[in-house]
Structure 1
């Protein structure tokens, strides 16, 4: 599952690559500050491109909340939902039946641009974090759905069965986030998609040859360490680690 992300690209770069405009320039200083490690369980603010206004880049809270909740309910809902993964990820296989996702999948899809994300590898009951990024250092665009609660957008990242590369890394859960191919970005936000169209995009694997992945510091998993710094995306070699991408 995808619970840890990284976004170090400045907003201008995101706007340029996705051909969008930040919804309000007052957000620019906040989102121009690099976040090398965002832990989803802290429910950080991240930028996304919403289907309903696909020309803008808007702030959203990571962790989807049902649209019948009020803004006053959001914090208490996250405390309740932590046992279900905090609303951070949505299994794509359940999009059309889940009580939250089915109300968003046709009209409230989104793109979440990230510089990279982290997945765990398990060996001998120990976890080793791996970082995934685009090999050319462009953004990776993750697929999501969202809800609107008053002035807030809350979102979740879609996941699916792991491709061979992700299966080798995320070897217990065998899941991966849905990464949208560049050629499908506009299509993902189209209002004309039916269920088959949506699943076709989801099931199109991002080319593994375009991805770079490597092991990083175990500080990523430590609640006692501030891992939001540039060193957390630096390669760390573990001599005992058998898995190589």
Structure 2
């Protein structure tokens, strides 16, 4: 599962890491320390290149609301607006499989939170890459039409089995794409679920770290550096 995450870098760092170049930016961007479901989040989508273009697949940075409202929903609130979608569900259910084949995006992040149980209260834990770098979480998006004709663009982050680091805290983890697989994931001409699924393996545990943070992150109104400050020394 992935119920909260962070993206604390500058816009320039984000654009450089994901090769966005001069891509237009939709919506305002500010660093976030406690991103929660229901909020508008930055997402990277692949654009369709010109027919004869030999250039790499163009990308754009847009905003999607976190919590999927599928296009077939009768109303916005139906279906529970899932923040996460199990990879197995996306593979097995035809409606979500079509989304996997045609409506993929990347949610950029530099950390995500899970809550450890067992004590008197749940203890939030932040997970990151060892080098503290940005990474891309695989996500699916869809567009739902409102009664007034307005289009609502939403997404859900895909989850998979946890690696050894995350398994100490939770039974699921977000699908973190390898850097070299991001272009394939965003390539809109790639419509084979069988070829996409191998990209969604649990991220290598040896490349990740985790540390406990203050429970203030449990309140979505808290969105400052205090949400990621370690409770204990990291080394």
TM-score range, shorter chain: 0.7 to 0.9
Displacement of 1:125: 5.7
TM-score, length of structure 2 as denominator length:
0.83
Question: In the alignment, what sits opposite 1:195?
Answer: 193
Is 1:21–1:57's contact at 8 Å kept on the other side of the alignment? no
Larger mean CA deviation between 99-108 and 3-12 belongs to: 99-108
TM-score, length of structure 1 as denominator length:
0.80
Unaligned runs of 5+ in 1: 239-243
User: Residues 94-118 of structure 1, C-alpha deviation per residue, up to 9 Å, x if partnerless?
Assistant: 1034365233110111111012110
User: Residues 133-157 of structure 1, C-alpha deviation per residue, up to 9 Å, x if partnerless?
Assistant: 2222221210000002354321000
> How far apart, in 1, do the equivalents of 2:35 and 2:142 lie?
21
Listed as ranges, the matches of 1:96-245 within 5 Å are 96-98=91-93, 100-124=95-119, 126-149=121-144, 150-170=150-170, 174-190=171-187, 191-203=189-201, 205-222=202-219, 226-237=221-232
Unaligned runs of 5+ in 2: 49-57, 145-149
* Selected match of 2:89 from 73, 86, 94: 94
Indicate the RMSD between aligned Cα atoms, in angstroms.
2.4
Answering whether residue 37 of structure 2 is matched by residue 35 of structure 1, we say no
Aligned residues between the structures: 219
User: Residues 154-206 of structure 1, C-alpha deviation per residue, up to 9 Å, x if partnerless?
Assistant: 10000011111111122xxx110000011111111222242221211112x32
Q: Secondary structure at the match of 1:126?
A: coil
> How far apart, in 2, do the equivalents of 1:22 and 1:90 lie?
31
Displacement of 1:52: 4.4
> How far apart, in 2, do the equivalents of 1:26 and 1:95 lie?
27
Q: Which has the higher helix share?
A: 1
